[in-house]
Amino acid sequence: MRRNYISPEYVYKKVNGTLSMSEESTFFGAKMLEVEDSLLIGNENMIWNQRFNGEQIDKVTETTLAPKLYSSVESMGLNHTISMDESQTQSKKEKNTRWIIDINVSKILNEYLFAKLKSNRTFEGIRTQMTVYNDIDTAVKKYIELNVNNRYSLVRVDLYVEYVDLRSQSVLRYQNKWSPSVAIDVNKTNKFQTISDFNQNNIRILFDQLQHSSQFKFDYFFNLYFEKI
């Protein structure tokens, strides 16, 4: 056999498709994740089992380990703030105080989708070394960021407010509490306005306290509704 002594310019090596978390559409289709048409993030808990490194390989053995828990109430509670509108007059602050709720919608949605994928074992069988991050949970979060989050749009916010009489309870004025127990029809209000940024990553709720703030504080809760684009 004659040799030409020409070294190859390229070396072809098989790699795992999971090294890239970005899904690309092709003429023949793609393996895009099928997602639900609508999502309600309210009062929901999810649970799943995994190995210490985040891998989901063998469900039977993983059930012997401490499960992972997700609470939408906790997630939404940590990813929003409530404050008084500093531009309001002192008179308004003393009576029908105006409040501002700033919600990190994108982070709440990402955390919900992460729990959804993990509880459904969507990435079952994938090992850490099969990802460019060498970490399963980081890879799942990146997949959500690149392929799933942008397929949903926030269409509605339901706000619930329950007033608490300061004269009958030992609570402090203006100390309003985040509480899922108030999310019932009688406490639902539509007397508020919303402002969102261009990408809907964050949304701001503005509303006036209907009961005199010298006599009442309030507990509050909200639900977030998303639809697939």
Q: Which residues of the chain register pLDDT less than 70?
A: 1-8, 11-32, 169-170
pLDDT of amino acid 167 = 79
- With respect to residue 9, please indicate whether it lies within any of the assigned structural domains: no
Question: What does the pLDDT read at residue 33?
Answer: 75
The answer to whether residue 140 is domain-embedded is: yes
> How many domains does the chain divide into?
1
With respect to residue 92, please indicate whether it lies within any of the assigned structural domains: yes
What is the amino acid identity at position 18?
T
pLDDT of res. 27: 46
pLDDT computed for residue 199 by the predictor: 85
Q: What is the pLDDT of residue 52?
A: 95
3 state DSSP class of 147:
helix
Distance, in Å, from the CA atom of 206 to the CA atom of 19, rounded to the nearest integer, reads 43
Nearest to 116 by CA among 41, 222, 18: 41
The reported pLDDT for the residue numbered 25 is 59
Say what the pTM is.
0.87
Q: Specify the amino acid at residue 87.
A: S
Helices 136-143 and 105-119: crossing angle, nearest 10°? 120
Does residue 132 lie in a domain region? Answer: yes
Q: Is 99 within the bounds of a domain?
A: yes
Residue-range definition of the domain harbouring residue 196: 34-228
Cβ neighbours for 212, distance < 8 A, ≥ 6 positions apart: 95, 96
Please check whether residue 121 lies inside any domain of the structure: yes
